[in-house]
């Protein structure tokens, strides 16, 4: 006699111990537990031994589904296979597949780099993976993924007008594969072959002031800034150091050695270490600021929460308060273009020295893309010369262009 859906649904555990095993056909039965759980089981004999196979828990596994599993188990027995052993091997294979899935490996890479990147960068990378990559590649074994699959993901991103995101996703997917190679999950990086597969993104240049006279006017305007002291210090340091705005606002006191006049940190964009030689002017500003924020983690703490860094909009907001249009005149990022142009054209510094100080990836004849200590002697001299030059511009002095014998302003 076989069970019915109604019998299964209404079955209740008997504390007296009788009637707690309801038989179905093919040696399958429903085991009632005192906890209220209902377990599907099947008894069978293999290699001269009596065994029991678990088929699931009701109602997650319905009567019909349990019978289907029973029939599949009987087919394995007919083929000379032990259903319990097959089930164990299938579970092991599933665990291995899950551990070697693209998502599992990607999360391993993301966790490994978490301590070395800013929280916002970590969050953006994870969100990009969750939204644009995991839905299509996440469950796939990483070793089975090929370049066409990755390209389809990148084209899907690009098709919605997010070309920058497509390029960033390709780079991060490639890093996941390189991490997977290191950990033994795969042997090759198919994303590496897709460099250039998506057309280059159109770069929008950040607004910048590169005329020395106007730079001097801007620096004098900083002296009249009426905002908070940390933001004033950030304004003064931004042109002196010309690092990326995010790197400046998230600067931590532990990264600075003011006695050695150095700032060392990890560039999140390139995941490379960077060294910024500090001019005497920069050190003076930092020492003054240290009296206010030195007890905390961040050099420029947030106005509302000192345990967080200054808002990413703070510098541009300060520039707007001073009357500058951050769309057409100058932005926090524009100080980099300002320094790059004037250092080369007015102070006649070598382009390769400037590029290394900007922490740009500059291949050389040895194939090294970036070395934080390369040209360090020249960079120390250049950073002090740059700070002295800005001082003269701020004071409105006539600056002589090196080697020209004529005023630059």
Could you give the residue numbers annotated as active site? 244, 269, 333, 336, 360, 370
How many CA atoms lie within 13 Å of 265's alpha carbon, on the beta-carbon side?
24
Q: CA-CA distances (angstroms) from residue 154 to 151, 177, 358?
A: 5, 16, 29
Place of tokens 């599933």: 94
Report whether 198 contacts 171 (CB < 8 A): no
What is the DSSP code (8-state) at residue 48?
T
Residue 224 in tokens: 């009249």
For residue 266, give the nearest of 250, 284, 277 by alpha carbon: 250
How far apart, in whole angstroms, are the C-alpha atoms of residue 262 and residue 279?
9
For residue 340, give the nearest of 349, 328, 331, 330 by alpha carbon: 349
> What element of type H or E holds 385?
helix 376-394
Place of tokens 């510094």: 349
Report whether 31 contacts 41 (CB < 8 A): yes
Residue 61 in tokens: 């596994």
Report whether 348 contacts 342 (CB < 8 A): no
For residue 280, give the nearest of 260, 251, 265 by alpha carbon: 260
For residue 149, give the nearest of 129, 170, 164, 131 by alpha carbon: 170
Report whether 47 contacts 82 (CB < 8 A): yes
Q: Based on the number of CB atoms within 10 Å of its own CB, is 309 exposed (0-12), middle (13-18) or buried (19 or more)?
A: buried
How far apart, in whole angstroms, are the C-alpha atoms of residue 194 and residue 173?
11
């Amino acid at each position: 006699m076989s069970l019915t859906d109604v019998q299964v649904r209404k079955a209740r555990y008997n504390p007296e111990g009788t009637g707690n095993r309801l038989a179905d056909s093919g040696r399958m039965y429903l085991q009632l537990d005192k906890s209220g759980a209902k377990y599907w089981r099947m008894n069978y004999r293999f290699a001269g031994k009596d065994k029991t196979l678990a088929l699931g828990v009701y109602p997650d596994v319905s009567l019909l589904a349990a019978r289907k599993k029973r029939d599949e188990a009987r087919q394995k027995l007919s083929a000379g296979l032990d259903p319990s052993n097959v089930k164990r091997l299938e579970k092991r294979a599933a665990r291995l597949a899950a551990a070697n899935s693209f998502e599992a490996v990607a999360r391993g890479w993301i966790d490994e780099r978490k301590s070395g990147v800013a929280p916002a960068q970590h969050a953006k990378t994870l969100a990009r993976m969750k939204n644009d990559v995991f839905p299509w590649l996440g469950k796939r074994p990483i070793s089975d993924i090929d370049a066409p699959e990755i390209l389809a993901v990148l084209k899907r991103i690009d098709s919605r007008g997010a070309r920058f995101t497509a390029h960033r996703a390709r780079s991060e997917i490639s890093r996941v594969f390189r991490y997977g190679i290191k950990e033994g999950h795969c042997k090759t990086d198919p994303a590496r072959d897709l460099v250039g597969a998506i057309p280059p993104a159109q770069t929008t240049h950040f607004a910048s002031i590169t005329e020395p006279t106007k730079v001097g006017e801007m620096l004098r305007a900083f002296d009249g800034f009426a905002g908070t002291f940390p933001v004033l210090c950030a304004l003064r340091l931004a042109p002196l150091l010309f690092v990326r705005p995010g790197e400046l606002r998230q600067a931590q006191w532990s990264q600075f050695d003011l006695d050695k006049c150095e700032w060392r940190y990890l560039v999140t964009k390139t995941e490379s270490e960077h060294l910024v030689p500090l001019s005497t002017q920069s050190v003076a500003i930092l020492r003054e600021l240290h009296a206010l924020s030195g007890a905390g983690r961040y050099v420029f703490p947030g106005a509302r929460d000192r345990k967080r860094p200054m808002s990413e909009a703070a510098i541009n907001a300060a520039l707007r308060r001073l009357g500058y249009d951050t769309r057409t005149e100058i932005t926090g990022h524009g100080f980099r273009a300002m320094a790059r142009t004037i250092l080369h054209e007015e102070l006649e510094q070598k382009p390769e020295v400037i590029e290394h100080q900007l922490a740009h990836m500059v291949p050389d004849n040895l194939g090294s893309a970036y070395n934080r200590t390369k040209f360090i002697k020249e960079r120390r001299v250049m950073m002090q010369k740059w700070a002295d030059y800005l001082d003269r511009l701020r004071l409105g002095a006539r600056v002589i262009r090196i080697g020209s014998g004529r005023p630059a302003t």
